[in-house]
Amino acid sequence: MAEVSSRILQSGLLPPFSHSSPSHGITNNHFSSYKLYRRNSPNIIIRCSSISTTETTKPTKTQNIPWGCETDSLENASNLQKWLSESGLPSQKMDIQRVDVGERGLVALNNIRKGEKLLFVPPSLVITADSKWSNSEAGDVLKQYNVPDWPFIATYLISEASLMKSSRWNNYISALPRQPYSLLYWTRSELDRYLEASQIRERAIERINNVIGTYNDLRLRIFSKHPDLFPEEIFNIETFNWSFGILFSRLVRLPSMDGRVALVPWADMLNHNCEVETFLDYDKSSQGIVFTTDRAYLPGEQVFISYGRKSNGELLLSYGFVPREGTNPSDSVEVSLSLKKSDKCYKEKVEALKKHGLSASECFPIQVTGWPLELMAFAYLVVSPPSMSRQFEEMAAAASNKTTSKKDIKYPEIEEEALQFILDSCESSISKYSKFLQASGEMDLDVTNPKQLNRRVFLKQLAVDLCTSERRILYRSQYILRRRLRDIRSGELRALKLFDGLRNIFK
């Protein structure tokens, strides 16, 4: 989507995500009101383990999170499985094992048929906004302030984690990564250095700023008034980065439970496959969280679900990995289009865009298969001359994804200019990607700390993989645009020759 906002939360708290489709994780990652911002088999994607860092996006007091695990430990996962079984998890056809695709995952113990329901996690083992607090007084205070589900669950997770073994969720929290590998944990310098060519950098900065804004709002309105319930040494920006990192990568929306968002232990051990279409939901007949397989599995094979139809950039943003180039059918790249301030009708066009919730500069997704109708409408508006001022409103409406106006508008008289404008924007982006990829081999990674060296090498490789896949889409779009422009121009040339021939006849 092209909706973007960088404002910090001031008076409200983050509501739940809106989903384009049900999935294991969060789709497209934007909030409706506050805008807090998708190896054996090449099509299989894994959740990366955590890497520790002492750097922060903004200068803050460094604090090591005392809970969770440094790596995806099988021991912690086995303890989780044992606790879940003792707490009411039914016998499963899957087991947590060390796997080739990801450090750990769920593997089939028996033959699993296509269309079979698996998992059956009871609601009592699911974390939602209705879960019982160990510190009931703290939960009551948040309810009095009508804190929405996302920050409510984030605070709940911190509260339970701080109690360690005295929390019923200790075995679950101990199996969670100490640092979720999302872009929340990239420093600003790392984002600027490695993602300078990609629009996902802006999305990451927005997300970081809005997590900070959410924490500041909770701190000022609630935590500071109840320091005995929410001490700063426990409820601080470091722990909120951790809890939101967990939510971004693991929270699911359950359509059959009125769209409730939840953390589902055991289910979040499942890894992602781009070709899998199955997702989690509540099954009323079995009264548990299940998913229905869309393929058969043999004993010993790893079982997968889909985290949603997300681009490589969105997967990196929330989950910290990038699929191999060309393996993600939902991959896209965002291209920024802007009105020209030198345009004689600049003010009129901006006003038309504002009426439909758009600004003078917008980002639109492009896939290998093409681009959205909204992008073409925006391009029409950019190149339209003053003589078409009556159509500005129609173009702006078609460029917005918030209206139900007709999208497939056509203006043959300016189509060539609109396509050329899109081509120029694509080629400008290609130039940025090529510049980064050429320079990536020369980046100085000489640091004295081996852990930091390993981290930066890994982040650099993620950035190279992302930029390579996004540039590939732009190259394909460039090819399509050039062909369409060639066809238009050759058609115009044929028409001109025909006109000249007729004129000679009449002479």
**How far is Cα 235 from Cα 135, in angstroms, rounded to an integer?**
14
Contact between residue 370 and residue 364 where contact means Cβ atoms under 8 Å apart: no
**How far is Cα 198 from Cα 433, in angstroms, rounded to an integer?**
8
Two tokens, residue 147? 């804190």
Q: What's the angle, vertex CA 270, arms to CA 99 and CA 179, rounded to 5?
A: 85
Cα distances from 156 to residues 32, 58, 162, 226, 466, in angstroms, run 23, 25, 10, 15, 34
CA atoms within 13 A on the CB side of 504: 6
CB atoms within 10 A of CB 299: 11
Contacts of 205 (CB under 8 A, 6+ apart): 6, 188, 191
Contacts of 498 (CB under 8 A, 6+ apart): none
**How far is Cα 416 from Cα 193, in angstroms, rounded to an integer?**
36
What is the pLDDT at residue 37? 26
Contact between residue 126 and residue 288 where contact means Cβ atoms under 8 Å apart: no
Contact between residue 152 and residue 142 where contact means Cβ atoms under 8 Å apart: yes
**How far is Cα 295 from Cα 304, in angstroms, rounded to an integer?**
10
What is the pLDDT at residue 325? 86
What is the pLDDT at residue 62? 37
Q: Scanning the structure block, which residue is given the tokens 């969060």?
A: 26
Residue 166 DSSP SS3: helix
Q: What is the DSSP letter of 122?
A: -
Burial 356-390 (b: 16+ CB within 10 A, else e): bebebebbbbbbbeebbbbbbbbbbbbbbeeebee
Contacts of 470 (CB under 8 A, 6+ apart): 197, 198, 312, 313, 331, 333, 433
Question: 282 phi and psi, to 5 degrees?
Answer: -85, 130
What is the pLDDT at residue 99? 80
What is the pLDDT at residue 491? 74
Contact between residue 26 and residue 308 where contact means Cβ atoms under 8 Å apart: yes
**Can you list the residues of the chain whose pLDDT is less than 50?**
1-62
**How far is Cα 117 from Cα 286, in angstroms, rounded to an integer?**
10
* CA-closest candidate to residue 419, choices 371, 459, 462, 455: 371
Contact between residue 284 and residue 256 where contact means Cβ atoms under 8 Å apart: yes
Contacts of 497 (CB under 8 A, 6+ apart): none
